[in-house]
A and B are shown apart, each in its own frame.
Chain A
Amino acid sequence: MEIKYVTKNNALIAKLYGDLDEYSAEYVRMSLDKILSDMSFVGGASLILDFSHVTFMDSTGIGVLIGRYKKYEKKQVEIKISSPPAQVDRIMKMAGIYRLMPLV
């Protein structure tokens, strides 16, 4: 798993590459938490998680997302989900993730 960050308008886009499972979860947690503390998000800012290059995700990914939601919410930064592949989308829907992080 690798994450590349780009900014666009008032949003930070995190592009995830590879498998999001228990093995890669700690890296994803640390990377997304670090960018939250490093970046000075202005009011109404958002983080877009681009899943278009995610090759696999299991329920560990759901735990990672909910954990990030709680941390980002405290700093009033909205997280949005972009381009999840079918396998990932199915798990997101089962977990109700889009109620917390809208699909864009």
Chain B
Amino acid sequence: MENKFSMQIDAKLSNESFIRTTVANFALPLNPTVSEVNDIKTAISEAITNSIVHGYQNKGGTIFLLCEIKEDTLYVEIKDNGVGIKDIAKAREPFFTTKKDEERSGMGFTLMETFMDSLDVKNNAEGGLTVKLSKRIVG
């Protein structure tokens, strides 16, 4: 099957639950298991938190979300116009954080990588960050 939706939404912490639940619900026609639904929710939550807290430094902005289903795979693109990431390779290392004083675990990208099949992180030419995730739903 093929399906897609996109939305732009304020980079507010109060929107986190809505965004992760919406993406997980979008994948429901693929009949994911409870575990797969949780994987999607967790990965999306990590990416959105990164946009709000790191990208926009908690000062607000807009998150652009694009979700697509192609055959049995969910593709998600999360884009922001925030500060981007200076050293993406370093940021993807487990337990790495630039905000040690704020009780950050530094596990965000590790969880995205673990719970999804693919993770691609790129700084945008015009500024900000794009995170692309995909997961094949086995069911």
The residues of A with any CB-CB pair to B shorter than 8 Å are 19, 21-23, 29, 56, 58-60, 62-64, 66-67, 86-87, 91, 94-95
Q: Is the CB of B17 within 8 A of A63?
A: no
- Which chain A residues lie closer than 8 Å to B102 at the CB level? 63
* Chain A binding surface SS class: helix
Q: Is the CB of A22 within 8 A of B16?
A: yes
Flag whether B103 is at the interface (Cβ < 8 A). Answer: yes
Q: Is the CB of B103 within 8 A of A66?
A: yes
Given contacts A21-B49, A56-B45, A64-B103, 18 further A-B pairs with CB under 8 A are A19-B17, A22-B16, A22-B45, A23-B17, A56-B38, A59-B46, A59-B105, A59-B106, A59-B107, A60-B49, A62-B105, A63-B102, A63-B104, A67-B103, A86-B35, A87-B42, A91-B42, A94-B110
Flag whether B9 is at the interface (Cβ < 8 A). Answer: no
- Which chain A residues lie closer than 8 Å to B107 at the CB level? 59, 62, 91, 94-95
Chain B residue at minimal CB-CB distance from A58 = B45
- Which chain A residues lie closer than 8 Å to B16 at the CB level? 21-23
Which one of B14, B35, B49, B103 contacts A58 once the chains associate, using CB atoms below 8 Å?
B49
- Which chain B residues lie closer than 8 Å to A95 at the CB level? 105, 107
- Which chain B residues lie closer than 8 Å to A86 at the CB level? 35, 38
Bound Cα distance from A86 to B34, whole angstroms:
10
Flag whether B28 is at the interface (Cβ < 8 A). Answer: no
Bound Cα distance from A56 to B49, whole angstroms:
14
Min Cβ gap B53→A in Å is 7
Q: Would you list 15 pairs from A and B whose C-beta atoms are within 8 A, ordered by A residue?
A: A21-B13, A21-B16, A22-B49, A56-B42, A56-B45, A58-B111, A59-B107, A59-B110, A62-B107, A63-B105, A66-B103, A67-B103, A87-B35, A87-B38, A94-B111
